[in-house]
Amino acid sequence: MIRLRDIAWPLALFALLVLGGGFAIWQGRALELPAPEDAPTVLHPELFQAARPLEPMLDLDPERVALGRLLFSDTRLSADRTMACVSCHDLGRGGVDGRQFSIGIGGAVGGINAPSVLNSGYGFVQFWDGRAQTLEEQAAGPIHNPIEMGSNWVQVLERLRADPALVAAFERSYPDGLDAASVVDAIASFERSLVTLDSRFDRYLRGDASALDAREIEGYRHFRELGCTSCHQGILLGGNMYQKFGVLGDYFAGRGTTQADLGRYNVTGREEDRHVFKVPGLRNVALTAPYFHDGSATTLEQAVTVMARYQLGRTLSSAETEAIAAFLRALTGQLPAGEAP
């Protein structure tokens, strides 16, 4: 016979997860709990874990990183020689350009907010819609995009191969020398090196209780108890899953929507992926305004308010909002030595 006391604690645990865990499972998409092996939207279940301090990427070839650093600022990658990767991913501004939408060649305006390049090596996919599985795929994208760099490999390689010193450096670092594969590998190697270490939150996670003040700790408590960690968890506090923008409310209702608003649907064509995006990591989020794929939130407080309403179905008090924003500002880390401040 099954006794009540034998099932009481499982029932209590279930209630805690559903009522207090921030919707730990939504339409089969694993959130705070480890993802099942067959979950289609989670590529790296091992990334689903409690927050932990950032660590540098290991086994990066320093010569390839150096080549990538050069190319990251090289305008020869763009058709009109006006744009470089750094044009939209300014390392001194959190790895973004601070615009709602970036400006490409000929003054063309993009349709989606530029994500930060910092810590991008820890992301499970690249771009808001996840259309690039690797940083190498991502690096090639803007080169061919007609409103970003508007170039092609024939043009880019012709220009780069006219630089004897660059050709020699690539021949030292890559068996096949300077070609499309080595160019994107070098850029991706540099991007993987851009891990922002030693934030105050990292120090707190390592046991330094004084690294965060009382208000920031209160914000972290709200962040967990409200359910923000359902999507923003792991080493980046995000960046390891997809989620619908508007789980508990229609964010797009009454708005003039664009193709970019379709999110993952643009890649898969599946109706369930409409308005689904890669969850952004929150590292250095205080530096990367404006927020969301549409750049519609100009402050952290505004972003927190919108997330609470549409993802959690909550209306926060001003004190809760300000405390969470204070915690988020403690996520700013330090760029590797030698990079922009």
Residue pair 145/33 in contact (Cβ under 8 Å)? The answer is no
Six token digits for residue 110: 């993009």
Q: Which residues pair with 197 in a beta bridge?
A: 334
Containing 139, the helix (H) or strand (E) segment is helix 135-144
User: What average pLDDT does the chain have?
Assistant: 88
Our count of domains for the chain comes to 2
Mean pLDDT of 193-217: 95
Q: What percent of the chain shows pLDDT beyond 70? A: 85
Residue 341 lies in a domain: no
One-letter amino acid of 276? V
- Helices (H), strands (E): how many in the chain? 12, 4
Task: Judge contact between 188 and 136, C-beta under 8 A.
Answer: yes
Q: Which of 154, 175, 192 is the last residue before a domain boundary?
A: 192
- Same domain (yes/no): 94, 173: yes
What per-residue confidence (pLDDT) applies to 338? 74
User: Is there a contact between 254 and 141 (Cβ–Cβ < 8 Å)?
Assistant: no
pLDDT tens, position by position, 141-186:
999 999 999 999 999 999 999 999 999 999 999 999 999 999 999 9
pLDDT 10s digits, 226-279? 999 999 999 999 999 999 999 999 999 988 899 999 999 999 999 999 999 999
Structural domain boundaries enclosing 25? 4-54+198-329
d(CA 7, CA 23): 22
Within this chain, do residues 270 and 210 fall inside the same structural domain, yes or no? yes
pLDDT value at position 340? 67
Domain CATH number, residue 78? 1.10.760.10
CA dist 206 to 29, 223, 282, Å?
30, 19, 18
- Residues 186, 203: one domain? no
Which are the catalytic amino acids?
148
pLDDT per position as a tens digit, 94-125: 999 999 999 999 999 999 999 999 999 999 99
Neighbours of 64 (CB within 10 A): 22
Residues 6 or more apart from 143 whose CB is under 8 A from it? 77, 78, 149, 151, 152, 153, 156
**Cα(178)–Cα(181) distance, rounded to whole angstroms?**
8
125 membership: H or E segment, kind and range: none
